[in-house]
Amino acid sequence: MSALRPSQALRLWHDATLALVRAEEPDLTARQMTVLLTVYLEAPPHTVRGLAAKLGVTKAVITRALDTLGRHGLLTRKRDPKDMRNVLVQRTVEGALFLERFGDLVVDKAKEVVG
């Protein structure tokens, strides 16, 4: 596939997020989706402190995102048994399936945009 033009990239982003909003999937904010993708695409371990540093936000911001993602079953949290001050963020089967469906959706929309 050749490189997308900016207008095509924006159309792809629009079409993919529109399809996600219309689907019976959780309607995540950009920040929540970024946290989710970071946990699934980058090697663990993931901590609240580490995610906050990576995204350039406070731990409270990450905690709010994790609260929502946890309610949807997309991620879980637990105390690090080696250092009880740290909270580990863990993947779930539901989260992996959600992102697999989203990835498939993006591929389908990319085919439509490119064409």
**Regarding the domain delimited by 6-114, which CATH topology (the fold level of the hierarchy) does it fall under?**
Arc Repressor Mutant, subunit A (1.10.10)
User: For residues 36 and 31, what is the distance between their CA atoms, to the nearest angstrom?
Assistant: 9
Name 9's Cβ contacts closer than 8 Å, sequence gap at least 6. Answer: none
Q: What is the pLDDT of residue 84?
A: 86
Helices marked H in 1-115 — which ranges? 6-22, 30-41, 48-55, 59-71, 93-114
pLDDT tens digit sequence for 15-51: 999 998 899 899 899 999 999 999 999 999 999 999 9
CA distance 64 to 46: 16
Q: What is d(CA 81, CA 24) in angstroms, rounded to the nearest whole number?
A: 36
Q: What is the pTM of this model?
A: 0.91
